[in-house]
Amino acid sequence: MKLTVAQALIRFLDQQYVERDGVEHKFFAGCFGIFGHGNVGGIGQALFEYPDFTFYQSRNEQAMVHTAAAYARMKNRLSTFACTSSIGPGATNMITAAAAATINRIPVLLLPGDIFATRHVDPVLQQLEAVHSPDLTVNDCFRPVSKFWDRINRPEQLMPSLLQAMRVLTSPAETGAVTICFPQDVQTEAYDFPESFFNKRVWFIPRPLPDAQLLQRAAAMIRQAQKPMIVAGGGVLYSEASEILRVFCQTFGIPSAESFAGKGSLPFDFDFNLGAMGATGTQGANEIAAEADVIIGIGTRYSDFTTASKTAFQNDSVRFINLNIMEFDAHKQSGLALTGDARATLEALGELLTGYQTSSAYQTQIRTYVQDWDNQIAQAYQVVDPTTISQAEVIGMVNTFSDPQDVVVCAAGSLPGDLHKLWRSRNPKSFHLEYGFSCMGYEIAGGLGVKMADPSREVYVMVGDGSYLMMCTEIVTAVQEGYKLTLILINNHGYASIGGLSKSLGSEGFGTQYRYRQAGTGQLDGDKLPVDLATNAESLGAKVIRTHDEASFQAALEEAKANTETTVIYIETSVDRKMAGYGHAWWEVPVTSVSSNPGIQEAHQKVLQNKKKQKLHL
């Protein structure tokens, strides 16, 4: 079949499916793209000729990859998008989002344009010239953040490359960003491809089990445990293991705490759900973690926030059992590695634990912690001063107003920590935070991906002024495509999260507030900048509701729900009333060891004291 390389690419992608548990899913929902001279005449023309493979226009290359990743995450990695860019800056704009996808183990396919393979035109517009290597381009920057990388210099290379790309994209263990670079002349080159290459292809997603002997050892370890505890990560949700996890906890009396990616694994009011774990964790989760003798990590990669920078697990005799589809993660903390599917492995492990249950005293302790924390959430949700709203109170109003199936989306700043502690998840997909990379700018683009994955849900994107200013562009895409988002735009006039961290380190929030430079001091400590973010959102096509107190915010939530178009609820919050850390809630950030500033000296001493609590679990 005589086709150009670009035409063959689109025809192949359109015939890729996955199957899990007997259910087929089309793997690619279409292609996001921004055209330039590096892809408009190749991939662009192919998309024009094959309109069934839907093309979505984006406003920022980084944003379109975030949208694809959010969509894939919402679909439990069973479907995603391709993303195409031109050569040069269009390509490099995707690198940040590619890193986020790979870090979070989310499949996205990136198709950046590249230089001329023939090199007849050299240098081409936007080409990086490397004097020591003429085949080096900016697309080589994708190598360290991609799980598979290739450059198609000849048409026949397309076939094995795409098959390898699909193997990685559909692998629960290896998935992440996949980058295939397309020299612009190769895109338009014709080749006689075999017709069988374009047949429907179904990639089977297995539920592998660990070795039987390792399962027996894990069961024996749990049976000996007095205070076992589960750390639920994103793998619980991707494996659709929430229900079996609930039964497991209930049957054996084992509590569970949640990482950022794993929040929502269990309903917030479940008797054995201790809530958030680690540096942004609840009192109960962190106290139990400090005492636990066996930690059962399910689908978690044990980030520094989850482990409170290696201070969370204080029991000198603590042992780890790690259920993970990825062998690399299963071996962390020197744990007993159960490499396999989370749901299938939990089911198998449960069969081996028949008759086991933790003590009634331990279970009573867990229930007390769960109830105490729910009381603290209720207290945090109470508006202290109706005219001056805190961030926690905003979260409370949104959470209380939203329905169980609705989704909150966030990524960076001080919001994620408060959401991790305070959001009452009632549905496995109701909490969507990108915190593996904590990428500022993910929020609105990610919210669009969530909405595209399931238009039946109301999507609440919570975003601070810092992240909003970095990437608000996909408001335009949401308006263009008719996908309604409700944006909660919180203005606290700066980088509030890092500002608070800076103050805790003795640096007084230096360089984190949005203020004029003052002539007298030469520093950015003058009046607040008169930036009108609400008007900006309005100019991008969103309906904007300006609020200033509890009553107007509550009314805005009602109005936004009734709207059919993307709506921005704008509010300024108090930065003085913040949520505290609980238990072993520490996050290691280095502090200079030499300073004349007393605040920095004090912060350095605190770091040294906390480092004494760190355990390597070798």
Q: What are the pLDDT digits (tens) for 277-333? A: 999 999 999 999 999 999 999 999 999 999 999 999 999 999 999 999 999 999 999
Nearest to 242 by CA among 258, 270, 260, 264: 264
Query: Could you give the CA distance from residue 92 to residue 555 in angstroms, rounded to a whole number?
Result: 42
The three-class DSSP label of residue 474 is helix
> Residue 578's pLDDT band (boundaries 50, 70, 90)?
low
Instruction: Quick: pLDDT tens for 127-175.
Output: 898 889 988 999 999 999 999 999 999 999 999 999 999 999 999 999 9
> Residue 583's pLDDT band (boundaries 50, 70, 90)?
low
Query: Could you give the CA distance from residue 277 to residue 236 in angstroms, rounded to a whole number?
Result: 15
Calculate mean pLDDT across residues 601-605: 89
> Residue 502's pLDDT band (boundaries 50, 70, 90)?
confident
Calculate mean pLDDT across residues 463-477: 96
- Is the model's pLDDT at 421 over the cut of 90? yes
The total of other beta-carbon atoms located within 10 Å of residue 179's CB is: 27
Backbone angles phi, psi at 321, to 5 degrees: -120, 125
Cα dihedral angle (282, 286, 288, 293), rounded to 10 degrees?
150
What residue ranges define each of the domains in the chain, with the CATH number in brackets?
A: 2-204 (3.40.50.970), 212-372 (3.40.50.1220), 383-493+529-572 (3.40.50.970)
| Residue 148, H or E segment | strand 148-151
Burial class (CB in 10 A: 0-12, 13-18, 19+), 402: buried
Least confident of 46-50, 59-63, 114-118: 114-118
Query: Could you give the CA distance from residue 336 to residue 221 in angstroms, rounded to a whole number?
Result: 10
Look up residue 202 and give its two tokens: 């179904």
pLDDT at 223: 98
